[in-house]
Amino acid sequence: MKLGVVVFPGSNCDTDCFYALKEVMKVAVDYLWHGEQARDDYDCIILPGGFSYGDYLRTGAIARFSPIMRSVAELARKGRLILGICNGFQILLEAGLLPGAMVRNISLQFICKYVNIKVEQNHTPFSNFSKSVLRIPIAHGQGNYVIDAHGPAELEEHQQILFRYCTPEGAVTREANPNGSIGNIAGIVNRERNILGMMPHPERCSEAQLGSADGKLIFESIIRYLSA
Amino acid sequence: MPERTPLSDPAITMELVSDHGLSEEDYNHIKEILGREPSFTELGIFSVMWSEHCCYKSSKLLLKTFPTSGQRILQGPGENAGVVDIGDGLAVVFKMESHNHPSAVEPYQGAATGVGGILRDIFTMGARPIAMLNPLRFGNPSIAWNRYIVNGVISGIADYGNCVGVPTVAGDIYFSDSYNGNPLVNVMCVGLMDKKDMTLACARTSGSYVVYYGNATGRDGIHGATFASEELSEDSQERRSAVQVGDPFMGKRILEATLDLIRARVVEGIQDMGAAGLTCSTCEMAGRGAKGIEIDLDCVPQRAENMSPYELMLSESQERMLAICPRDKIDQVREILTKWDLECCILGTVTDDGLMRVKHGGRVVAEIPAAKISDDSPVCRREARTPEYLNRLTKFDPAAVEPPADYNPALLELLAFPTIASKRWVYEQYDHMVQTNTVVSPGHSAAVLRIKGTNKHIALSCDGNGMYCYLNPYIGGMITVAEAARNVVCTGAEPIAITNCLNFGNPEKPDIFHQFAECIRGIGDACRELNTPVTGGNVSFYNENQGEAVFPTPVIGMLGVIDDPQWITPSGFQDEGDCIVLLGPEVTHLGGSQYLYQRMKVVVGPCPEMHLETERKVQAVCREAIRAGLVKSAHDLSEGGLAVAVAEACLRSERQLGAVITMNAQLRLDIALFGEAQSRILMSCAPSSLDSLMQLAKVHNVTARKIGTVRGERLIINRSVDLSIASLQEAHHTVP
């Protein structure tokens, strides 16, 4: 099993993802420079958070032209797992690997804090665990997910909504939504369920010392899937 | 000898010299150094290098009185940043700087470029920046202009720090009319490195290349250093061109590229182009290595047309670096820079003749003995005089203030007072978690970060109460250090070193210089007593608006080390039934308190007392009690006194625990609850640990009293305060 963490100029959660996978999950992981192609033997590619290309133009809009994105699309087509976290999610949207787009948080401010997310599906490679509410941090200025008029129904129909912002008890309410995203969406998968984009940061909560270890459940699920 | 270059160069007249902030004496000194009249470019170079901001002419004699050495100190003041040994082959690099004047006229860019600048000071030493702290002082938030400044500064800090991926883990914010029109924006950065990666800003080998990388040079920020060395006035709003514009994406790339260069061992010296830009970086690196530097300005990448040598040398365009690179390493340097999409520009070479020689259009436009620019910079012996206001204010007897009729609203109003209220509305705009080291987040007295790969943690705090320093600059100076140390001690750390940022008014005024000299004396004495040497810092003078100086506001950044993770101690209560213990002396008055300021809108009375020996002992008891496993929570008492500390300890408990407090009936309750006596720590412990804790305090001859119990869901103090935790919470989260 081999995982890769892509480094774009301006990525800043690359080392955090690398650390969580290597030191906490104890799996083999490499950094993949954005200007190169990813070899065919990666089972999972992580697009980390940060400000690729300084968020110039639009979040993720330039990074999606990086050479490595061709191999990411190719690996995705072959069914390998792709996980985009925060800026990684924004890049996946810009690359057309997931539907929808991001606009600025409804407060127009960057928000960094712990939130709760409800796990809507357990039958994906990323969410094969029983806990239904995760305590997990967000840190973004543009996590307000939007999609065209038919989008929400289609996402529902194909069970693509994986995470929604919720209260600690699991209620999906307006108050629990930190950024104004439609349907409280915090993370979605593609129809094939091998690409996940999520705004919250599982790598920031994979050790209890950091305030929560719920993020580890997502990495464990990925590793279980890849080991099977 | 330089030729008169472009036709546009003005003739050097005494008026021009004076416009450059130089005195006749300075000018004669320049002629002596050069053995001739300076060129226009040379005049510009001396002007910025001899500005208060760059050469510390008013402060350097006093700064020399600071204790700067110690076993752990690897690099004291004088370099880009101080370096402290934390064991395990690791060193912490840290420094604080001000960006007050730029933030007063252009808050967003002023604050953003402050962050960018301090980051560069840290990574040029070879350290990866791992934390930022932001001590901020704003004017009265009920004035719209001040709110504009607040929002601009906070967004500027957030946008730069968040993008670069360095967590902002702590800070402190005070609001006061004193800072109307002249906010204080101090930024502190902390880096971590392998000791062997330490890189100095020094040119050591003749023939090595002088390499420029990063942003191109424009006309922004010309004379920024000079701008920082004068008072703000109504005309200052027209000085926006002296404010630079930040580009955090470039900042991030030069950060990564610089660390790659240092780890690959392909550069021998490196300095960022901050204040005084190309001028400062070239002459300082040459001066430190007792070498010369020759550069050709035609090789400088430029983003404005027809820039003169004067402008090129003085521009403070951001995100620019200058490295000294051995000739045989230039290909590797170029390769690393190319990886980060940065151009590698060779400007010239290191020479043996000790001269800073600058060429432009094939001609020499400046030729100055490099070391002389810093070594011979002017020293001003300023006059100090005890300000008259001190007599007037300290005579005020705060006991004449009526106690509140009802303590419940009094406490809620104090909790909601902008200086005391929770700063969650601020720190949630900062990424404080990136790099996954933040173990204790903002919202506590000090931040705690883990050091990956070790058992070690570091604790960081910044403090500076300008009101105390206004009422008594000497005691205020001591308190600033003592409180910063107390904050890190409460987390379980041992304080080991400080950096500082000293914000004052115009030093040419004897009243102001008295404040400065006395604060320095207080800081120095406290650092000696608490064994926390000064590793560096920054002086910001001329913080005045319409001729009124801000409160004298020295800010201390404290570094502490925690060797065993079990020592990490929260500030909030932990378990129902725990004993609440107050460590430290009795409070005797309300002088200098936020309570008086909030209720009476006055800054009066004696400053709280500070006895350094008591402070040291109280901190020793806290540290030993934590290490002995006796303490469940520890919280330092500061603004708002005991009542606010207890309320915060309730609010910071995960389960929102309440407390029942019984105060000594002999003391006036408002003084007991809101007085800001120093050297006090609020602790909680299990009932079974109480005797041991009391015994430990007794051994150290420190007063300790059990004042209550963690209990229920309300805060109850005698028969005077009875409030639900929810109501405390609501008040504390008031956004100004």
Work out the minimum CA distance from B297 to partner chain A, whole angstroms: 29
3-state secondary structure B614-659: HHHHHHHHHHHHHHCCCCCEEEECCCCHHHHHHHHHHHCCCCCCCE
Closest by Cβ to A209, choosing from B159, B434, B450: B450
| Chain A residues touching chain B at CB-CB below 8 Å | 9-10, 12-13, 15-16, 19-20, 23, 49-51, 53-56, 109-113, 137, 139, 141, 201, 203-204, 207, 209-211
Alpha-carbon distance B370 to B619, whole Å?
Answer: 46
User: Which residues, including other chains, have CB under 8 Å from residue B63's CB and lie 6 or more apart?
Assistant: B56, B77, B520, B539
Task: Using alpha carbons, select from B404, B396, B395, B394 the residue that is nearest to residue B673.
Answer: B404
User: Which residues, including other chains, have CB under 8 Å from residue B386's CB and lie 6 or more apart?
Assistant: B511, B514
Work out the minimum CA distance from A85 to partner chain B, whole angstroms: 13
Instruction: Tell me the one-letter amino acid at A222.
Output: I
pLDDT value, residue B399: 73
Q: What are phi and psi of B281, to 5 degrees?
A: -65, -40
- The percent of residues in chain B predicted with pLDDT above 70, rounded, is 96
pLDDT value, residue B52: 87
Residues of B within 8 A of A10 (CB-CB) are 163, 249, 252-253
Work out the minimum CA distance from B449 to partner chain A, whole angstroms: 10
3-state secondary structure B554-614: EEEEEEEEECCHHHCCCCCCCCCCCEEEEECCCCCCCCCCHHHHHHHCCCCCCCCCCCHHH
What is the predicted ipTM?
Answer: 0.96
Alpha-carbon distance B584 to B678, whole Å?
Answer: 8
Test B159 with A110 for CB contact under 8 angstroms: yes
- Is any Cβ of chain A less than 8 angstroms from the Cβ of B656? no
pLDDT value, residue B53: 85
Test B249 with A113 for CB contact under 8 angstroms: no
Look at strands B168-175 and B269-272 and give their pairing. Answer: unpaired
Are B710 and B576 within 8 A, CB to CB? yes
Mean pLDDT check: name the lowest of B231-235, B421-425, B450-454, B529-533.
Answer: B231-235
| B240: pLDDT strictly greater than 70 | no
DSSP H helical ranges for chain A: 14-19, 68-77, 87-94, 151-157, 215-227
**Number of folded domains that form chain A:** 1
Mean pLDDT check: name the lowest of A153-157, B8-12, B281-285.
Answer: B8-12
Q: Which residues pair with A115 in a beta bridge?
A: A136
pLDDT value, residue B397: 77
Q: What are phi and psi of B734, to 5 degrees?
A: -65, 130
pLDDT in tens, B260-275: 999 999 999 999 998 7
Work out the minimum CA distance from A41 to partner chain B, whole angstroms: 25
Instruction: Tell me the one-letter amino acid at A64.
Output: R
| B670: pLDDT strictly greater than 60 | yes
Instruction: Tell me the one-letter amino acid at B638.
Output: S
- CATH code at position A14: 3.40.50.880
Give the number of other CB atoms < 10 A from CB of residue B7. Answer: 5
Residues of B within 8 A of A115 (CB-CB) are none
Apex CA A35: angle with CA A34 and CA A38, to 5°? 65
pLDDT in tens, A26-79: 999 999 999 999 999 999 999 999 999 999 999 999 999 999 999 999 999 999
Place of tokens 């919250």: A200
Closest by Cβ to A112, choosing from B249, B252, B432: B432
pLDDT in tens, B369-401: 999 998 889 999 999 999 999 988 877 777 788
- Is any Cβ of chain A less than 8 angstroms from the Cβ of B428? yes
Residue B736: band (very low, low, confident or very high) from pLDDT cuts 50, 70, 90: confident
- Is any Cβ of chain A less than 8 angstroms from the Cβ of B304? no
Residues of A within 8 A of B439 (CB-CB) are 209-210
Across the range B327-354, mean pLDDT stands at: 96
pTM as predicted: 0.95
Interface test with B, best of A12, A24, A219 (most B CBs within 10 A): A12
pLDDT value, residue B229: 64
CB pairs under 8 A between A and B: 82
Test B439 with A201 for CB contact under 8 angstroms: no
pLDDT value, residue B49: 92
b vs e for B108-146, b when ≥16 Cβ sit within 10 Å of the residue's Cβ?
bbbbbbbbbbbbbbbbbbbbbbbbbbbbbbbbbeeeeeb
Q: Which residue of the set B53, B360, B514, B635 is catalytic?
A: B53
Q: Which residue of the set B99, B444, B514, B589 is catalytic?
A: B99
Domain that holds residue A112: 3-227
Work out the minimum CA distance from B401 to partner chain A, whole angstroms: 42
Test A112 with B247 for CB contact under 8 angstroms: no
Task: Using alpha carbons, select from B264, B273, B276 the residue that is nearest to residue B199.
Answer: B264
Catalytic annotation, residues of A: 86, 201, 203
Q: Is B432 a catalytic site residue?
A: no
Residues of B within 8 A of A141 (CB-CB) are 162
pLDDT in tens, A162-179: 999 999 999 999 999 999
| A8: pLDDT strictly greater than 60 | yes
Give the DSSP letter of residue A46: E
Crossing angle of helices B330-339 and B248-263, rounded to 10°? 140
Crossing angle of helices B144-164 and B107-123, rounded to 10°? 30
CA nearest A8 in B: which residue? B340
